[in-house]
């Protein structure tokens, strides 16, 4: 005997849907819109910059194109991903709501307006829009953490405020208002992001690894972790604030060794069959490489740009593409299993890091070709992300839950 079909949903039934599931799905949690717009920026801005650098076209900006490129990658792309991640994570950590709906949409529009203003508005307007986002998000999240009594994660808010301060210094320098080189503010921002990565990766990567490997034990000694973070912070602070020298080179080399040991203790070999996990380990492997190159740069053996891009493309870019997929899958109710397209995106970002860092170091005569190829691979990786994830992030979770 056949079962009767359920009645079609009427307008009144739809009106009685839970309040949390009303409105646009893309504005229900911070990761959704911020992951989309930052991936789009990654697709567009890097080829735009590479083409201008290689002389294919000109960028009409009120700031040097090199400074614009570095700023947009750090304060636009990476900071935007961090904002989306924290707006999502703080809700999970506290059980309290974070911005959604019109407020979340406003935060995203401020971010978008700043990106566009760099090309079409007077520089002070661009600067004001760009500086506004991070302090606003920091204050919103601080209120949630204080309300929940979650003191453990308040230091992350301090890092957001320091990023906001670095951004302000950059814009004041670019406008000639203060006698501080704008590149110093960029190095400061990169250093702050590396510190965020060092803290968060230390929490999540070993946990993710243990969760999918029955019987695996990863015990990270607290003293080791504190020493690693202290050495990392000191090395980065001296890089930004102190002149180059042998002492700073030695400290950077020590940081490289500590991060290599940390990665080894995470047992990366057990992740080879799980791309959504090995991409995090493979990306973190660029951390000791970056610090080793920073040590070499202090001694004048290599250009600073190699260390900068080991951190920016290898560490930050690799971890971002890994976390953009993992967290988006989890928060849309999908299995934590990377598809073939996502694995290709992982490989493209990591290959872009090799081309941008190692090829110029070993074969400088191929620099232009390597830069062109690296920019194309990077853009293709995030284009793949957008093709796969845009429909998912625009729809309600598969399990019908909020988020």
Question: What 3 state SS string does the chain have?
Answer: CCCCCCCCCCHHHHHCCCHHHCCCHHHCCCHHHHHHHHHHHHHHHHHHHHHHHCCCCCCCCCCCHHHHHHHHHHHHHHHHHHHHHHHHHHHHHHCCCCCCHHHHHHHHHHHHHHHHHHHHCCHHHHHHHHHHHHHHHHHHHHHHHHHHCCCCCHHHHHHHHHHHHHHHHHHHHHCCCCCCCHHHHHHHHHHHHHHHHHHHHHHHHHHHHHHCCCCCCCCCCHHHHHHHHHHHHHHHHHHHHCCCCHHHHHHHHHHHHHHHHHHHHCCHHHHCCCHHHHHHHHHHCHHHHHHHHHHHHHCCCCCHHHHHHHHHHHHHHHHHHHHHHHHHHHHCCCCCCCCHHHHHHHHHHHHHHHHHHHHHHHCHHHHHHHHHHHHHHHHHHHHHHHHHHHHHHCCCCCCCCCC
Residue holding tokens 């990654």? 42
Q: How many CB atoms lie within 10 A of CB 223?
A: 8
What pLDDT sits at residue 391?
95
Smallest Cα–Cα separation from 49: which of 28, 35, 70, 75?
70
Q: How far apart are CA 320 and CA 301, in angstroms?
A: 29
First-to-last CA distance in the chain? 39
Q: How far apart are CA 398 and CA 148, in angstroms?
A: 29
What pLDDT sits at residue 200?
87
Q: How far apart are CA 333 and CA 328, in angstroms?
A: 9
Asked if residue 199 lies in contact with residue 156, where contact means CB atoms within 8 angstroms, the answer is yes
Residues 6+ apart with CB under 8 A from 62: 122, 123, 126
Asked if residue 402 lies in contact with residue 331, where contact means CB atoms within 8 angstroms, the answer is no
What pLDDT sits at residue 237?
92
Q: What is the pLDDT of residues 259-299, one digit of tens each?
A: 999 999 999 998 888 899 999 999 999 999 999 999 999 88
What pLDDT sits at residue 19?
56
Smallest Cα–Cα separation from 327: which of 258, 393, 233?
393
Q: How far apart are CA 45 and CA 223, in angstroms?
A: 41
Residues 6+ apart with CB under 8 A from 56: none
Intervals of the chain under pLDDT 70: 1-21
Give me 2's structure tokens.
């056949």
pTM over 0.85: yes
With 0-12 CB in 10 A as exposed, 13-18 as middle and 19+ as buried, what is 228?
buried
What pLDDT sits at residue 58?
87
Q: How far apart are CA 374 and CA 294, in angstroms?
A: 21
Give me 398's structure tokens.
């598969």
Domains located in the chain, CATH noted: 24-392 (1.20.210.10)
Q: How far is CA 121 from CA 40, 108, 126, 129, in A?
A: 21, 18, 6, 10
Residue holding tokens 């000791």? 288
Q: How far apart are CA 377 and CA 371, in angstroms?
A: 10
């Amino acid at each position: 005997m056949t079962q009767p079909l359920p009645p079609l949903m009427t307008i009144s039934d739809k009106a009685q849907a839970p309040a949390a599931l009303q409105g646009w799905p893309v504005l229900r949690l911070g990761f959704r819109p911020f992951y989309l717009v930052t991936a789009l920026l990654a697709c567009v801005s890097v080829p735009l910059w590479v083409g201008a650098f290689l002389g294919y076209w000109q960028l009409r900006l009120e700031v040097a194109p090199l400074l614009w490129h570095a700023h947009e990658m750090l304060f636009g792309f990476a900071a935007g991903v961090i904002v989306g991640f924290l707006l999502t994570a703080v809700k999970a950590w506290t059980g309290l709501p974070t911005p959604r709906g019109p407020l979340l949409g406003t935060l995203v529009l401020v971010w978008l307006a700043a990106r566009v203003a760099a090309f079409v508005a007077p520089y002070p307007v661009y600067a004001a829009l760009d500086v506004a986002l991070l302090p606003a998000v920091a204050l919103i999240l601080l209120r949630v953490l204080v309300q929940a009594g979650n003191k453990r994660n308040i230091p992350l808010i301090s890092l957001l405020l320091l990023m906001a301060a670095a951004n302000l210094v950059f814009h004041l320098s670019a406008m000639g208002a203060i006698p501080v080189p704008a590149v110093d503010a960029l190095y400061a921002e990169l250093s702050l992001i590396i510190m965020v990565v060092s803290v968060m990766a230390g929490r999540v990567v070993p946990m993710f690894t243990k969760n999918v490997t029955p019987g695996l034990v990863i015990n990270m000694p607290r003293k080791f972790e504190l020493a690693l973070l202290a050495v990392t912070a000191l090395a980065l602070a001296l890089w930004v604030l102190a002149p180059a020298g042998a002492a700073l080179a030695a400290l950077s080399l020590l940081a490289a060794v500590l991060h290599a040991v940390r990665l080894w203790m995470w047992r990366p070999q057990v992740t080879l069959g799980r791309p959504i996990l090995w991409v995090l380990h493979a990306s973190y492997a660029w951390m000791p490489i970056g610090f080793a190159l920073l040590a070499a740069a202090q001694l004048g053996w290599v250009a600073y740009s190699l260390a900068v891009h080991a951190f920016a493309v290898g560490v930050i870019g690799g971890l971002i593409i890994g976390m953009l997929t993992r967290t988006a899958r989890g928060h849309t109710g999908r299995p934590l299993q990377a598809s073939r397209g996502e694995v290709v995106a992982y490989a493209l970002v990591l290959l872009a890091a090799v081309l941008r860092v190692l090829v110029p170091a070993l074969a400088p005569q191929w620099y232009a070709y390597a830069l062109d190829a690296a920019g194309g691979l990077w853009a293709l990786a995030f284009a793949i992300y957008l093709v796969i994830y845009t429909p998912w992030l625009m729809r309600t979770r598969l399990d019908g839950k909020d988020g």
